[in-house]
Amino acid sequence: MTTHFMPATGLLASLDLLDISLSGPLAHLRLNRPAKRNALSDTLIQQLHTALVNLPEGVRAAVVSGEGEHFCAGLDLSELVERDVAGGVLHSRMWHAAFDQLQFGRVPVVAALHGAVVGGGLELAAACHVRVADDSTYFALPEGQRGIFVGGGGSVRLPRLMGVARMTDLMLTGRVLSAQEGVQVGLAQYHVPAGQSLVKAIELASRIATNAPMSNFAVMQALPRIADQSQSEGLFTESLMAAVAESTAEAQDRLRAFLDKRAGKVLKQG
């Protein structure tokens, strides 16, 4: 499968710390601070938020990657020096807003990981819906060694992926996980050879973009909230979301296609 991306225009083209390109229903957002290992400055976080809010209407899935040798080496620590408590809270909340837009925005997001996925970079990846790690990828949370604490939603999202005990280990000891170890503990769902994470991420995003929009919406918006609810509340929420999804015109068309044998069945892969 060949996908041809063209540079974005207008507002998206003006975001200088992101390289944004489009291909039909796909958007590719590449972090573009390679000299800083794509460290997350305030400006980069703000631009990421702006880009996600202003994706073209026809986009149905997005890929996030990093320029250069690393996906993202975390927070730009130079911006933490001499920040007071109030400034720290506002800074963290700015990150929360941007990463909430990743997780609960309009389209599913696939992260193509390589090199460092460290600190804030891991928090960013955790906000995406699907993560692909290549052999060069490594995961770490060095906040304990820096005298700081996660502030981009990591304490909420990462325990849901890897568990509190594993996150505690990474933060207290400075342990670094390989790509394979990251997949084993839930930090990524796919493991590919070095240099292939973007190709795989685009393949997955292309597949996601063909889903019924309401089904994607339900997975993105309802599923994580149901996981936080009690069993009785979750079951009721599930019933409401199932009724909404199956009642759409597109769902009805797809169900008829399957019953009329015009749609393929689920088959074992590989």
The answer to whether residue 246 is catalytic is: no
The answer to whether residue 79 is catalytic is: no
CA distances from 46 to 15, 223, 232 (A): 10, 27, 38
Sheet of 176-178, strands arranged across: 116-118, 138-140, 176-178
Sheet of 61-66, strands arranged across: 6-7, 18-23, 26-31, 61-66, 109-113, 130-134, 190-192
Whole-angstrom distance, CA of residue 213 vs CA of residue 108: 10
Q: What is the DSSP letter of 188?
A: -
Instruction: Say if residue 209 is exposed, middle or buried (CB neighbours under 10 Å; 0-12, 13-18, 19+).
Output: buried
Catalytic option among 69, 143, 181, 203: 143
42 φψ region: left (φ > 0), alpha (ψ -120 to 50), beta (else): alpha
For the chain, the helix, strand and coil percentages under 3-state DSSP, each to the nearest 5: 50, 15, 35
Question: Rounded to the nearest 5°, which phi and psi values hold at 256?
Answer: -65, -40
Whole-angstrom distance, CA of residue 245 vs CA of residue 217: 9
Q: What is the DSSP letter of 153?
A: S
Whole-angstrom distance, CA of residue 27 vs CA of residue 7: 10
Catalytic option among 57, 123, 181, 238: 123
Active site residues: 123, 143
